[in-house]
Amino acid sequence: MGALYYPQSAPDLTLTMTPLGTTNFPPTGGLLEYNIAAQNNGTSTEIVDIWVDVSLPTGGLYGPVLGPVSDFTMAGGFSADRDRELTVPGAAPPGPYSLNGYLGEYDPVSPIIYAEDSFNFNKASFGDGGEWISNWFVDSGESFEELAETVNSVEVYGLIQCYPNPFNPETQLNFSLPENGEISLIVYDIQGREVATLYDGWYQAGSHKATFSGAALPTGVYFARLTAGSVQQTQKLVLMK
């Protein structure tokens, strides 16, 4: 892969790479378990590619080992995470590595990067080890492709409108449900504390609205989170007194 390009007006996206187990491997290799989480912090739907590669001790790159997952649709406020695992082969050279994740527009020569994250892992040159791992950086686990149907439904479930925003002291949140189901609509402050429950129970398909009052709350940023089954949508609210 050639030079990475970071556009100045990139979508407001976040990618988080988190190791779930050991990051130190014996000479025989092992299994690197990790979680990859993608978040659209904006209100507009974004269509991106997702991929993961490995930085080698020699300075080169190996991969992508995940993806590229092409044209992945992320509605405003949508988040998704997947648990994955990567074989670290015994034949790999010893030294420091990093596992790198990206959101953007994949190109093997000059990809465009909207968001990225990475973490380090290490392979020892000597010491006791277990079974020899022969598979060369094979990535497997929960796939983003499995989320495609759910992701595409988020726009239907999502908060369609929040007006006014910023607001004082009230704002109205509108959303629609494509089918009957159990939902919750809860408002949290910036520390993650629940400040209001607007919906919680079984509701029929169709359009719904809720009014959130900040009359008894201080000026600040709040988040309205709509949960419907496996679909979750978050809307940022700004109370200005």
**pLDDT, tens digit, 9 for 90 and up, residues 35-57:** 999 988 887 778 889 999 999 99
Higher per-residue confidence, 129 vs 99: 99
**Do 115 and 215 share a domain, yes or no?**
no
* Percentage of the chain modeled with pLDDT above 90: 39
Q: What is the mean pLDDT of residues 198-227?
A: 87
The total of structural domains in the chain comes to 2
Is 201 inside a domain boundary? yes
List helix spans (H) across the chain: 148-157
Residue type, 7: P
Q: Phi then psi for 193, rounded to 5 degrees?
A: -85, 135
Q: CATH number of the domain that 57 lies in?
A: 2.60.40.3880
How does residue 5 score in pLDDT terms, banded at 50, 70 and 90? very low
pTM for this one? 0.61
Asked if pLDDT for residue 81 goes beyond 70, the answer is yes
pLDDT tens digits, 163-175 = 788 899 999 888 8
CA dihedral angle for residue 22, residue 119, residue 121, residue 61, rounded to 10 degrees: 140
**Do 20 and 68 share a domain, yes or no?**
yes
Is 7 inside a domain boundary? no
pLDDT at residue 175 in the model:
80
Q: Which residues pair with 239 in a beta bridge?
A: 167, 220
**Nearest-angstrom CA–CA distance, 210 and 214:** 13
66 exposed, middle or buried (CB, 10 Å; 0-12, 13-18, 19+)?
buried
Task: Find the domain containing 202 and state its range.
Answer: 158-239
Closest to 112 measured CA to CA, from 29, 16, 1: 1
**Nearest-angstrom CA–CA distance, 227 and 24:** 38
How does residue 206 score in pLDDT terms, banded at 50, 70 and 90? confident
